[in-house]
Chain A
Amino acid sequence: MENDQDKIINNVTSGEYKYGFHSDIEIDSIPKGLNEDVIRNISLRKEEPEWLLEYRLEAFRHWQTMTIPQWANLKIPDIDFQDIIYYAAPKKKQGGSQHANSIDPELKKTFEKLGIPLEEQNHLAGVAVDAVMDSVSVKTTFKEILAEEGIIFSSFSDAVKEYPDLVRRYLGTVVPHTDNFFAALNSAVFSDGSFCYIPKGVRCPMELSTYFRINAANTGQFERTLLIADEESYVSYLEGCTAPMRDENQLHAAIVEIIVENNAEVKYSTVQNWYPGDKEGKGGIFNFVTKRGLCRGENSKISWTQVETGSSITWKYPSCILKGDNSTGEFYSVAVTNNYQQADTGTKMIHIGRNTKSTIVSKGISAGHAQNSYRGLVRVLKKASGSRNFSQCDSLLLGDKCGAHTFPYIEVDNQTSIVEHEATTSKIGEDQIFYCNQRGISTEDAIGLIVNGYAREILNKLPMEFAVEAQKLLQISLEGSVG
C-alpha cells in the first residue's frame, strides 16, 4: 500500500513540461558579457534618451559594488555574469514586416502554441496582451480600444519614446536601482517590459496582461514593468511566462513597480511557469524578481496573487508599502516545487499609514527533493496606528526528501496595531486519503483533490481565465509526485 502510494506520487509529480519547445527564429543579439559599452549598446539599439542611459550606467556602477545576496535559504550555483547575452531580439523581416501590425509568422506560431492570442479577435477577447520575446516586446493588442479610455498600455520601449515624462517621473521610485543586487542589475540592462497608466476615474474594461517568453539560448531576460493607477481607477493585470527546455540555466531578473493613488486599486496576478529543470535538477531558469507596489494614496489597494510552479530557483518577494491611510495590501500565493526546484518566496508588508490593513495567505507545496521556503516581513511603524495584519502560511509535504520552511519576521512599533501570524506544516493525512479511497476515489485522484482544495483559496483570487489554467498547471507540476 505504502509502495503503491509512493508510485502514484511519483507519477503525479513527474509530469512533463509542456512549453519546453524552442522556436527557430532568427535572432539579433549582442555578444556575451557585461560592461559599460554593452549598456550603451543596448540603450543605442533601443534609441533611448540620454537620461535613461545615465540611469542605466549609474545602476551598473552601483551593481559593481554589490555582491550576490546569500541570506535566502537557497543553494545558488555561481552565476557568471559575463557569460550571459544581455540583449537578444527576434530579427525583423525585411520589407513589409516593418509595419507594426504584421508579425513574423514563426513568432505568431510560437505564441499560438503557447495559447496566447496575438490577434484581437481571438477567444480570449477580454484580455489585452503585451507579448515579450527575449529582450523585446513583439506585439501589444487592443492598444486602440484602451486608448479610447485614455489608458496607456504599451511596451516599455515605446513608452519611453511616447511618454518620456511619465516614465521618467515614476521609473525607480518604488524600486530604486540601489535596492538589491538583482534590481541593480536589472536597472542597468533591462530590455523591455510593459508600461501601463490608468488615468483618473477609469475602470479598465479588460484584463491587461504581459506574456514573457525566453526563446534564445544563453540569454538572460531582464524586463521591467511599470504600472500606475491614478485616483479612483482600477486595473487587473496578469503576467505569465514560459521558456524552452535547456540543459544550462538561464537567468531572469525582473522588476515590477506599481504606484497606486487615492481610492485606486490594482490587482496583479502572476502565473509563473518558467522551465523548472529536469528530474535531475539539470537546467531551468533562475528567477530573481523584485516586485513592489506603493499604495501612495488613501484607501488605495494592491493585491498580489501568484502561482509559482516553474523555475529551478525562485527568489521573489512581491511587497506592499502601505503609505496612504486606510490602504490595503494583499498577498496570495501558491508555490509548488518539485524534483530539485528551490523556492524562497514571500512578501513584505510595510505599514506606514494609519488604519492600514494587510492579509498574507501563502501555501507551499513541496515534492521530490525540492525545498520550499516562505520568507515574509510585516513591519508596523510607529505612526501606523490601528493597523491590522493577518498572515497564514501553510506547507504541504509530499515525499520524505523535500523540505518546507517558514521564516516570518514581525516587527511592531505600535500599541494599537494587531498582528497575527500562523503557520502549519504537515503531509497529506493517511486518514484523508483513506476517506477518499473508501468512497471509490483512487489515491491519485484523492491527492489531486486534496492539493486542489488546499490551493483553492488562492486560485479563487485569480481572474477566471487564469484560474482554469492555473488549476491545470498545478496538477501537471505535481504529476508523478504523489504517494
Chain B
Amino acid sequence: MNVHNDCRERYHKLYEKNIEKIKAKSSPYVNACREPAFEKFMQLGIPTTKNENYRYTDLSHFFNYDYKNYFLPGREDFLKAEQFRCNVPDLDTHGIILLNGFYPTLTDKLRELPGGIMVGSLNEAAKTFGDKIAQHYNRFINGDSDGLVHLNTAMAFDGIFVYVPSGVKLQKPVQVVNLVDSDNDIFNQHRNLIIVEKNADLTLIICDHTLSPQKFLTNAVTEVYVGEDSHFDIIRVQNEHNNAAKITHTFIHQEKNSTASSNNITLHGGLVRNSTHHFLGGEGAECSAYGLYLSDKFQHIDNYINVNHAFPNCRSNQLFKGVLDDMAKGVFNGRIYVMKDAQGTVAYQKNNSILLTDDAVMDTKPQLEIYADDVKCSHGATIGQLDEDALFYLQSRGIDRREAQLMLMFAFAHEVIQNINVEALRERMDSLVMQRLRGELSRCANCMVKCG
C-alpha cells in the first residue's frame, strides 16, 4: 500500500512540475481534458496486482523508478530519426517515425495523401483540425479501472494522427515506427488518434523498437474510430530489449457494419502489456483480435483483451497464442461482454500456450459475461507442450528432434501470423518468428553493433 501511495505522489510531482510546459504547446481542447483526467488518476493510481485486470502483472518495478523525464525533443533527436530506415524488404508503406513519443520533424508535421487523407502529428492536427479532435479525442477510452489511461490523457503531448475521409480506401498501409532512443532512462507517453470515416479502409502497422539499452517505460494510448461500413486493421509488432516496459492501450470503437482487426505480435520485450478494447457499437459490426507472444529470459508479456458487444448481430473472434521459454511469464486475460440487448451475438475466443521449461509460467483468464440469451459464445484455453506424436512422426522421417520442435512451434505461431493481410509484412514476420524461435533475435537485440 505504501509503495502504491509513493508512486502516486511521484507522478503528482511530475505533473505539477511539467504541466505548464506541456500545456503551452498543446491545443485548448486537449488541455481541457488534462485536469479531470489527472484527478481520476489520483483516485485510481498506478494499477497494482489487487486490480483484477492487472492481477498477474506487477508494474511497480517500472513505475517506482526515477526516470530522466523529458517532455520536448531536442535538435539532435530529429537527426536520429532521419537516419532510421525500416529494413523490411518490399514493404511499401506511408512511413511515419515517432521518436520517444514525439513527431520528430520541424516542418511538414501534417502530410496530405491522395484522397484527402491526413497523416501526421496529433499535436499539430489538434491545432488545425479542432472540430475532428473535439468529436473523437478522449471519447472512446474506458479507463474506469485503469489509472494509466488517465495518466496518459493528462500528460501525453504528441502522437500520431490519421484521418481517412468517407469513401476513401488507402491502398498502401500507414506504418508508424515507434523508436525509443536516449542516453538516459526515460518514461514516455504518447497518444494516437485514428479516424476512419464511413465506407473507408485503412491498414495501420505499428512497429515498436528500442535503439539504446537504457531503461525505458512507455505508456501509449491509441484511440480508433471506425465509421459505418468501414474496414480497419491494426498490426502491432513489438521488438524491444529486456529492460524496456511497454504498456499500450488500444480502444477501437466500431460503428454499424464495420469490420476491424487487431494483431499484437510480441517478439521481444522486458515487460509488455497490451490492452485492446473492441467496442462493437452498431449492428452487424465484426471484429477479430489476434495475438502472438514469444518470450524467454525474465520477460513478461500480458495481453488483455475486451470485446464489448453492445448491439445485436455482431460477431467477434479472438485468437491468442504463445510460446514461453526460460523463466518467462505469459498472461492472457480475455473478456467477452455481451450487453442486455445484443441478441444474435456470435463470439469466440481461443488461447493456446506452450511452456518449454519448468520455470516458465502461464496465467490465463478467459471470461464470458453474457446478459442476452440469443447468443453463441464459447472460449477455449489450453496450456501444454508440443505433441509427442507429432514430434515422433517428424523424427521418424529423418528430421532431428530440435528441428522438429522448431517446425511445430513455427506452425503453431503461423496460425496467428497468417491473419496479417500485408504480404510483405507477413513474410517478414514468418522469418522473424523463425529467428526468434532459434534464439537469434535476442542475440541481435542485445548486440550493440546494430548491423541490421
Residues of A within 8 A of B (CB): 71, 73, 382, 385, 395, 397-427
Q: Known interface pairs A382-B358, A395-B370, A397-B375. Does A409 touch B382 (Cβ–Cβ under 8 Å)? A: no
Query: Which residues of chain B have C-beta atoms less than 8 A from A423's C-beta?
Result: 366, 368, 378-380
Task: Pull 22 A–B residue pairs with CB atoms less than 8 Å apart, ordered by A.
Answer: A395-B368, A397-B370, A400-B372, A403-B371, A405-B367, A406-B379, A407-B365, A408-B366, A408-B367, A408-B381, A412-B355, A413-B358, A415-B358, A415-B385, A417-B384, A418-B382, A418-B383, A418-B384, A420-B380, A421-B366, A423-B379, A427-B373
- Asked whether B382 lies within 8 Å of A414 as measured between CB atoms, the reply is no
Cα distance A402–B375 in the bound complex, in angstroms:
12
Cα distance A414–B362 in the bound complex, in angstroms:
9
Q: Known interface pairs A403-B369, A405-B367, A412-B355. Does A419 touch B382 (Cβ–Cβ under 8 Å)? A: yes
Q: For the complex, is B376 an interface residue (Cβ under 8 Å from A)?
A: yes
Instruction: Select which of A71, A401, A410 is within 8 A of B364 by beta carbon.
Output: A410
Query: Which residues of chain B have C-beta atoms less than 8 A from A415's C-beta?
Result: 355-358, 360, 385
- Asked whether B385 lies within 8 Å of A400 as measured between CB atoms, the reply is no
- Asked whether B358 lies within 8 Å of A410 as measured between CB atoms, the reply is no
A406's nearest neighbour on chain B, judged by CB, is B368
Min distance, Cβ B53 to any Cβ of chain A, angstroms? 13
Q: For the complex, is B224 an interface residue (Cβ under 8 Å from A)?
A: no
Query: Which residues of chain A have C-beta atoms less than 8 A from B379's C-beta?
Result: 406, 421-423
Cα distance A227–B75 in the bound complex, in angstroms:
75
Query: Which residues of chain B have C-beta atoms less than 8 A from A414's C-beta?
Result: 355, 358
- Asked whether A400 lies within 8 Å of B381 as measured between CB atoms, the reply is no
Query: Which residues of chain B have C-beta atoms less than 8 A from A417's C-beta?
Result: 383-384
Q: For the complex, is B343 an interface residue (Cβ under 8 Å from A)?
A: yes
Cα distance A398–B373 in the bound complex, in angstroms:
7
- Asked whether A406 lies within 8 Å of B381 as measured between CB atoms, the reply is no
Q: For the complex, is B374 an interface residue (Cβ under 8 Å from A)?
A: yes
Cα distance A420–B379 in the bound complex, in angstroms:
11
- Asked whether A410 lies within 8 Å of B365 as measured between CB atoms, the reply is yes
B381's nearest neighbour on chain A, judged by CB, is A421
Q: For the complex, is B377 an interface residue (Cβ under 8 Å from A)?
A: yes
- Asked whether B361 lies within 8 Å of A424 as measured between CB atoms, the reply is no
- Asked whether A425 lies within 8 Å of B375 as measured between CB atoms, the reply is yes
- Asked whether B370 lies within 8 Å of A409 as measured between CB atoms, the reply is no
Most chain-A CB neighbours within 10 Å: which of B56, B343, B370, B374? B370
Query: Which residues of chain A have C-beta atoms less than 8 A from B381's C-beta?
Result: 408, 410, 419-422
Cα distance A411–B376 in the bound complex, in angstroms:
27
Cα distance A427–B345 in the bound complex, in angstroms:
11
Q: Known interface pairs A400-B372, A403-B369. Does A426 touch B357 (Cβ–Cβ under 8 Å)? A: no
Q: For the complex, is B90 an interface residue (Cβ under 8 Å from A)?
A: no
Min distance, Cβ A309 to any Cβ of chain B, angstroms? 20
Q: For the complex, is B52 an interface residue (Cβ under 8 Å from A)?
A: yes
Query: Which residues of chain B have C-beta atoms less than 8 A from A395's C-beta?
Result: 368, 370
Query: Which residues of chain B have C-beta atoms less than 8 A from A409's C-beta?
Result: 363-365
Instruction: Select which of A385, A399, A420, A426 is within 8 A of B377 by beta carbon.
Output: A426
Query: Which residues of chain B have C-beta atoms less than 8 A from A419's C-beta?
Result: 381-384
Complex interface residues of chain B between 182 and 218 (CB less than 8 A to chain A): none
Q: Known interface pairs A420-B381, A422-B380. Does A413 touch B375 (Cβ–Cβ under 8 Å)? A: no
Query: Which residues of chain A have C-beta atoms less than 8 A from B356's C-beta?
Result: 415
- Given A407-B367, A418-B384, A425-B370, 16 new contacts (CB under 8 A): A385-B358, A397-B375, A400-B373, A402-B373, A405-B367, A405-B370, A406-B369, A411-B362, A412-B355, A412-B363, A414-B358, A419-B382, A425-B368, A425-B376, A427-B373, A427-B375
Interface size class of B (residues with CB under 8 A): 35 or more
Min distance, Cβ A75 to any Cβ of chain B, angstroms? 14
Query: Which residues of chain A have C-beta atoms less than 8 A from B52's C-beta?
Result: 71
Query: Which residues of chain A have C-beta atoms less than 8 A from B355's C-beta?
Result: 412, 414-415
Cα distance A423–B52 in the bound complex, in angstroms:
21
Min distance, Cβ B391 to any Cβ of chain A, angstroms? 14
- Asked whether A404 lies within 8 Å of B365 as measured between CB atoms, the reply is no
Query: Which residues of chain B have C-beta atoms less than 8 A from A424's C-beta?
Result: 376-378
Query: Which residues of chain A have C-beta atoms less than 8 A from B361's C-beta?
Result: 411-413
7 closest cross-chain pairs (CB), A and B: A397-B373, A424-B378, A418-B384, A406-B368, A422-B380, A425-B377, A421-B381
Query: Which residues of chain A have C-beta atoms less than 8 A from B373's C-beta?
Result: 397-400, 402, 427
- Asked whether B383 lies within 8 Å of A408 as measured between CB atoms, the reply is no
Cα distance A414–B356 in the bound complex, in angstroms:
9
Query: Which residues of chain B have C-beta atoms less than 8 A from A412's C-beta?
Result: 353, 355, 361-363, 383
A372's nearest neighbour on chain B, judged by CB, is B370
A391's nearest neighbour on chain B, judged by CB, is B381
- Asked whether B380 lies within 8 Å of A421 as measured between CB atoms, the reply is yes
A405's nearest neighbour on chain B, judged by CB, is B369
B337's nearest neighbour on chain A, judged by CB, is A405
Query: Which residues of chain A have C-beta atoms less than 8 A from B363's C-beta?
Result: 409-412
Cα distance A419–B332 in the bound complex, in angstroms:
14
Min distance, Cβ A396 to any Cβ of chain B, angstroms? 9
Cα distance A397–B374 in the bound complex, in angstroms:
8
Cα distance A408–B385 in the bound complex, in angstroms:
21
Cα distance A8–B179 in the bound complex, in angstroms:
63
Min distance, Cβ B195 to any Cβ of chain A, angstroms? 34
Query: Which residues of chain B have C-beta atoms less than 8 A from A404's C-beta?
Result: 368, 370
Q: Known interface pairs A412-B362, A415-B356. Does A426 touch B376 (Cβ–Cβ under 8 Å)? A: yes
Min distance, Cβ A256 to any Cβ of chain B, angstroms? 27
A425's nearest neighbour on chain B, judged by CB, is B377
Min distance, Cβ B50 to any Cβ of chain A, angstroms? 10
B380's nearest neighbour on chain A, judged by CB, is A422
A366's nearest neighbour on chain B, judged by CB, is B373
- Asked whether A403 lies within 8 Å of B384 as measured between CB atoms, the reply is no
Provide the B10-54 mask, 1 if CB < 8 A to any CB of A, else 0: 000000000000000000000000000000000000000000100
Query: Which residues of chain B have C-beta atoms less than 8 A from A406's C-beta?
Result: 366-369, 379
Cα distance A423–B359 in the bound complex, in angstroms:
28
Most chain-B CB neighbours within 10 Å: which of A412, A413, A416? A412
Most chain-B CB neighbours within 10 Å: which of A401, A408, A422, A425? A425
B354's nearest neighbour on chain A, judged by CB, is A415
Cα distance A399–B381 in the bound complex, in angstroms:
28
B378's nearest neighbour on chain A, judged by CB, is A424
Query: Which residues of chain A have C-beta atoms less than 8 A from B382's C-beta?
Result: 418-421
Min distance, Cβ A472 to any Cβ of chain B, angstroms? 25
Query: Which residues of chain B have C-beta atoms less than 8 A from A411's C-beta?
Result: 56, 361-364
Query: Which residues of chain B have C-beta atoms less than 8 A from A425's C-beta?
Result: 368, 370, 375-378
- Asked whether A416 lies within 8 Å of B370 as measured between CB atoms, the reply is no
Min distance, Cβ B52 to any Cβ of chain A, angstroms? 7
Complex interface residues of chain B between 231 and 250 (CB less than 8 A to chain A): none
Min distance, Cβ B145 to any Cβ of chain A, angstroms? 13
Query: Which residues of chain A have C-beta atoms less than 8 A from B360's C-beta?
Result: 415
Most chain-B CB neighbours within 10 Å: which of A382, A398, A414? A414
B376's nearest neighbour on chain A, judged by CB, is A426
Query: Which residues of chain B have C-beta atoms less than 8 A from A422's C-beta?
Result: 378-381
B56's nearest neighbour on chain A, judged by CB, is A411
B348's nearest neighbour on chain A, judged by CB, is A424
- Asked whether B370 lies within 8 Å of A403 as measured between CB atoms, the reply is yes
Instruction: Select which of B374, B378, B380 is within 8 A of A427 by beta carbon.
Output: B374
Query: Which residues of chain B have C-beta atoms less than 8 A from A385's C-beta?
Result: 358
